[in-house]
Structure 1
Amino acid sequence: MTFVVVATEPAEPGEPTAELPYDGPVTVLDRLLGQLGALKVPDVRIVTRPEAAQVLRKNGHEVIESPDLAADLREIAALAAGSAEFFLAHADVVISDELLTRLVRDKTTTAITAKQAASGTRPAVRVAKRRVVSAGSRFHQVTDPGAVFRGVLKVTDPAALAAACEELAGLALADVPPVRVLGLRDETLDVFVDSDARDEFDRRVPEHDVLGRTAPGGDDAVALALVGLVRSGVRVTARNVDVLVCERVLTPAEAAAAREAVDAVDEDRVRLDAAVKSNDGFFTTYFVSSYSKYIARWCARLRLTPNMVTCISMAIAVIAAVWFAEGTRTGLVLGAILLYVSFVFDCVDGQVARYTRSFSTLGAWLDATFDRAKEYVAYAGLAVGYGVTHSGDVWGLACAVIILQTCRHMVDFSFAVHKGTVPPAPIRRVPLDAPDDAALDPLPKAAAVRRGGLGMVAVRVSAALEKVPGARWGKKIIILPIGERFALIGLTAAFFDAKVTFLALLLWGGVAAGYTLSGRILRSIV
């Protein structure tokens, strides 16, 4: 793992912006290097200009001298060629610990972007479906930009980056004229957008009025590296900063403002909120996840691993089944309560994993296996309890519910596996010496081929329903996800008996199976 820090932006003659004060004697660069040290990044390189090298060495930093932009790109290419995992960032970036940690753990080539675009002082990008489809630099325009690049990049294909940077170095030596936009803020600036889109960059910065207002005066090898990747056909994921902070600071006022922005964010709360799935069902979202994340943080502080929490959830489910097996009203009520608690811990184990970033193949397998085991042991307990207190039994109904659920899971898992094997759409390649990005644009709407058929109609209807208030939750509830199933089991058992529970599961589960299966078929024929 190699992390290259580019310290080529001058704050004053001979002194880079990397040496701006951040917190007392701690500079912006000191802070970034401390963050990388805490993440145990093994190889950190600093590229800077010869006139700034003396200042950086005086402050204890080992540096690589680079005289110009072409040399920057060649140095990046050389370092990338020998790395399995490569990072690139400006030395004057102030970034939240949580955001940097997420970037380091990303499995794909990723650029940190921001949806809001404050001014033409930052490289523009166009993002579609969480992918950077066009990136800008002083030499490359972006048509219809919707975000800006914040100067931090992770590359999982360093060979592609090395090739692109070598080619770009040749172009930089050729003295390619920069793209210019006239009239932005009554000045002539080297900016990163075309004139038709500059209004997108006249909005206020929500985080702080000072941030993002100063245009860089130096070279931007990092932005060029992103352009090279995108135009070479590399799939680059856009990670939005959201409530976290990632901003270049080019003046002392911006450095102070960035520190205020970082201090204003409770990063532990952000990480805790991110531990909760955003696409859970209605019952899980409103009756479990609203408080289970605090249990997850408590478990993490007790140093309980996700697998331990999974086992606790399974144990509680077994106790619930024992109470169900008693067959009395008290046993059914206590069993329902314990089954709910078991489901809470079933949610907590994943939240602990995401909060502590402790993932394992064993944990994923245990979670999926115990989900089925908890459900089926509850069915067994209910069937035993019904036989104890009633004449006759409901084992036939219990087996029917198990068969139905097994078939539903089989359909879901097989569809998910098939869906993952569909190759992504190819990414267009654009010459690096082309100043505009017209070749990156999709086909004009009039010439685009519109796919039809019943499958496409179903997809469009489903997408339209997402915009109808309440329809999104209705779609989630009807498929009877695990949260709704556990709620249905607990409520029907507590207020009625096992027979009603199994009949309700068969009725609702049958409707859910029909709805899901028809949707899978229609989506498969699009």
Structure 2
Amino acid sequence: MSRAVILPAPGGSIETPEDGTVLDRLIAQVREAGCDDVTVLIRPGADLTVKAAQIESADAASDLEHLREIAFSGTGALFLAYADLVASQTTVAAVLSDSSRRSGVLVGTDDAAAEPVSVERGLVTGPGPGPARLGGLAKVSAAHLARLRRHWPAESPGDAFEAVLAALHARAIPVNAYRTSGLAHRQAGDADEAAETIAEFTSVDMDAWRLRNAVKYDDDLFATYAVSSWSPRLVKFGARLGWTPTPITWVSIALALGAAAIFASGFSWWYLLAAALMYFSFVFDCVDGQLARYTQNFSSFGGWLDMMADRGKEYAIYAGLAAGAALDGSTAAAWGIAVAAMVTQTVRHTADTWYAVLLDTAVVRQARKRETAPPVGRAAHLGQRLGSASEHVMGAHRSFLYWAKRTIVAGVGERWLLLAVAAVAFGPRIAITALLCWQLLALAYTSAGRLLRTLAARTAALRRPDRAAHRDDGVLARAMPANRHRFSNLPVVSTALAAAVTGVAVWRAAEGLTWTPLVLACVAVLAGIASARSDHDGIFDWLIPAGLRAIELGVITAAGLVAGVSWPVLFALLGVVSLYFYDLAAGLDKAASPVSRRDLGLGWPARGLIAVAASAASLVTEPIVATATFAALAVYVAATFVGAIIVGARRAARA
């Protein structure tokens, strides 16, 4: 359960035009935003009558001690606010409604008296020249409170709010910058300032402001002009009817499944209907997030479901197109292209997620001056120039180069547009083939630039205590001796070699060989797991999770080809495993996943070796053995995944 602590500030006792003090107003806003456990710290002798628990606190050091007791007395997030904060309900809710595992602080530019801070990539990195300034409201997530348990600040030259923020920075914890541009918020110094601030944000048409800010500012080309140009009307209509985001996500899923079913029936004029269903599925996929932002109705499960549904719907479309294309007799070619597209997309998105972690880590660590060595070599300097050029292009919002850069990477809207149009015009096989070609181009384009920019960042994104969870090695990793093998200091090299061997295994299996691909698959698994217990402190180690995803998916594919596993069964197993990996990404990208334990998932090496063993068994017994084993493994992984989701969601609801 989340808790809110309001710190002493002289302006809290200021009377407002709303018949009450600034502090009374803030307490009511915190409760309206969904946090009922509110504690107010007061100085000795203060005569305050408020509808909240009160604790007498002598000074800033005492504030820190009381904060520590409150912070570790429960399991939810901790919210901090100054008693003199004057802000709109929308601004307060922007911080308190964040149900993710992120921590953050409200920032703005309205309060000239507040402390200036530096903001990079949406993260508050520490004191700075501004123009952003602290807004007097912060969130420390439960996950980050656990990291601060042994490192709680004992004292601070400033106050408790600044001390906690400094402690987050000291532990290299990313601190999100919450903004509500256009809505004034200040720590009031007197009654006139409080009244002026209230007048400023009450003069704003709040409904229009929320509707305008519900649409992503930096969305992709297709979403911007083909969906967001009219979807706010649907959002407003849905809000009036009492719609909530999660049911809309389920509607989007149902429409996509309907389109996939039509594609699977074979090329016909019905494909026009499938294309229309795809479009409206994408519309509702945008609307659920817009509605959440408009109504400020956020949930960790909703954000997680939205991310997982995006990939699940897309892979269902791939399967539908493959099934439709296979009706002309070219089953292997049709399903093979679909499998390649799914594997490419999964590997690419895993790399995308960890590259974002790399950039955030670089921002935080370089702000703390941990990485002081300047870039060395032409490649590093080229990486710096590429980064500057990229930022310049993205700063020219909605220019030709801006859209070209966003489109070449094959965003989800553009991928869906290509599939729908190409399927209607040229048939399912051309559609999925065209998509695969674009995916490979996007992967090559992004990888080349990111490798060079990594040299400039000089930061190890996988230098973190939870890397084992994101590797998903399972029980086999625990049998590997720590830092005592040949690849101890080169985990990215061993992973790259294993991925290359996997590629050869798939190639040889596609040529009709049997035992050679299986032997190569085993070698790939062993080489990939060899780096499990290494330190992962290399600047290119952010590529390891993507490499491991490629290894497992490739090993399963090779084993399936050798044993002649039914293509739909092989695709289903690969799809389930891919979604399992997307949940790992959701924990980083959305900072939200209901899955807290993955013990029963076996780990990627075990799943890969089970596929190889089933394939080998089918070669000496009956071919059906492998198909049955692959189907059982898909059901098992799906069942354990869904079970972990249910358990995690219930645990979160109780908290």
Q: Indicate whether the TM-score tops 0.5.
A: yes
1:113 pairs, out of 107, 110, 113, with 107
Superposed CA offset, 1:196-218 (max 9, x none): xxxxxxxxxxxxxxxxxxxxxxx
Matched, 1:498 2:426: yes
2:374 pairs, out of 448, 456, 466, with 448
Amino acid aligned to 2:351 = F
Take 1:62 and 1:328, find their aligned partners in 2: how far apart are those partners?
68
Take 2:316 and 2:406, find their aligned partners in 1: how far apart are those partners?
23
Matched, 1:149 2:138: no
Matched, 1:64 2:55: yes
Q: Secondary structure at the match of 1:150?
A: strand
Q: TM-score by structure 1 length? A: 0.68
State the identity %.
27
Partner of 1:96: 88
Partner of 1:414: 350
2:200 pairs, out of 261, 281, 297, with 261
Partner of 2:314: 371
Q: Secondary structure at the match of 1:344?
A: helix
Q: TM-score by structure 2 length? A: 0.56
Amino acid aligned to 1:50 = P
Partner of 1:287: 226
Partner of 1:130: 122
Matched, 1:485 2:479: no
Instruction: Give yes or no for contact 1:80–1:162 (8 Å, CA) kept in 2.
Output: no
Partner of 2:19: 25
Shift of 1:341: 2.5
Partner of 1:7: 8
Take 1:407 and 1:124, find their aligned partners in 2: how far apart are those partners?
45
Instruction: Give yes or no for contact 2:410–2:442 (8 Å, CA) kept in 1.
Output: no
The alignment covers a number of residue pairs equal to 436
Shift of 1:77: 4.5
Amino acid aligned to 2:33 = L
Instruction: Give yes or no for contact 2:43–2:58 (8 Å, CA) kept in 1.
Output: yes
Take 2:291 and 2:177, find their aligned partners in 1: how far apart are those partners?
26
Shift of 1:287: 0.3
Partner of 2:643: none
Amino acid aligned to 2:177 = A
Take 1:524 and 1:291, find their aligned partners in 2: how far apart are those partners?
39
Take 1:489 and 1:163, find their aligned partners in 2: how far apart are those partners?
51
Instruction: Give yes or no for contact 2:341–2:432 (8 Å, CA) kept in 1.
Output: no
Instruction: Give yes or no for contact 2:253–2:309 (8 Å, CA) kept in 1.
Output: no
Q: Secondary structure at the match of 1:47?
A: strand
Take 1:416 and 1:405, find their aligned partners in 2: how far apart are those partners?
16
Q: Relative CO higher for 1 or 2, CA cutoff 8 Å, sep ≥ 6? A: 1
Instruction: Give yes or no for contact 2:22–2:83 (8 Å, CA) kept in 1.
Output: yes
Take 1:86 and 1:452, find their aligned partners in 2: how far apart are those partners?
46
2:298 pairs, out of 344, 357, 362, with 357
Take 1:310 and 1:476, find their aligned partners in 2: how far apart are those partners?
25
Partner of 1:475: 405
Take 2:266 and 2:218, find their aligned partners in 1: how far apart are those partners?
36
After superposition, the Cα gap between the structure-2 partners of 1:350 and 1:132, relative to the gap in structure 1 and judged at 3 Å, is: closer
Shift of 1:5: 1.4
Partner of 1:50: 44
Shift of 1:256: 1.4
Which consecutive unaligned segments of at least 5 residues does structure 1 have? 10-16, 136-141, 173-219, 430-438
More strand, by proportion? 1
Take 2:82 and 2:272, find their aligned partners in 1: how far apart are those partners?
60
Shift of 1:230: 3.9
Instruction: Give yes or no for contact 2:214–2:291 (8 Å, CA) kept in 1.
Output: yes
Instruction: Give yes or no for contact 2:410–2:438 (8 Å, CA) kept in 1.
Output: no
Q: Secondary structure at the match of 1:242?
A: coil
Which consecutive unaligned segments of at least 5 residues does structure 2 have? 455-655
Partner of 1:342: 281
CA RMSD of the aligned region, Å?
4.0
Instruction: Give yes or no for contact 1:76–1:165 (8 Å, CA) kept in 2.
Output: no
After superposition, the Cα gap between the structure-2 partners of 1:464 and 1:346, relative to the gap in structure 1 and judged at 3 Å, is: same
After superposition, the Cα gap between the structure-2 partners of 1:405 and 1:50, relative to the gap in structure 1 and judged at 3 Å, is: same
Amino acid aligned to 1:479 = V
Amino acid aligned to 1:5 = I
Q: Secondary structure at the match of 2:361?
A: coil
After superposition, the Cα gap between the structure-2 partners of 1:498 and 1:322, relative to the gap in structure 1 and judged at 3 Å, is: farther
Superposed CA offset, 1:325-367 (max 9, x none): 58665x4544443432233223334444555314425554344
More helix, by proportion? 2
After superposition, the Cα gap between the structure-2 partners of 1:351 and 1:398, relative to the gap in structure 1 and judged at 3 Å, is: farther
Partner of 1:516: 443
Shift of 1:301: 4.5
Superposed CA offset, 1:448-503 (max 9, x none): 33464288265555445435631121123233333223333444555xx434x743
Shift of 1:70: 4.5
Instruction: Give yes or no for contact 2:87–2:184 (8 Å, CA) kept in 1.
Output: yes
Q: Secondary structure at the match of 2:280?
A: helix
Deviates more, 1:220-229 or 1:101-110: 220-229
Partner of 1:195: none
Superposed CA offset, 1:362-396 (max 9, x none): 55434421232135435656x59xx8xxxx78878
Superposed CA offset, 1:413-471 (max 9, x none): 33246547759359679xxxxxxxxx956888xx7334642882655554454356311
Shift of 1:409: 1.2
Take 1:158 and 1:418, find their aligned partners in 2: how far apart are those partners?
23
Deviates more, 1:270-279 or 1:91-100: 270-279
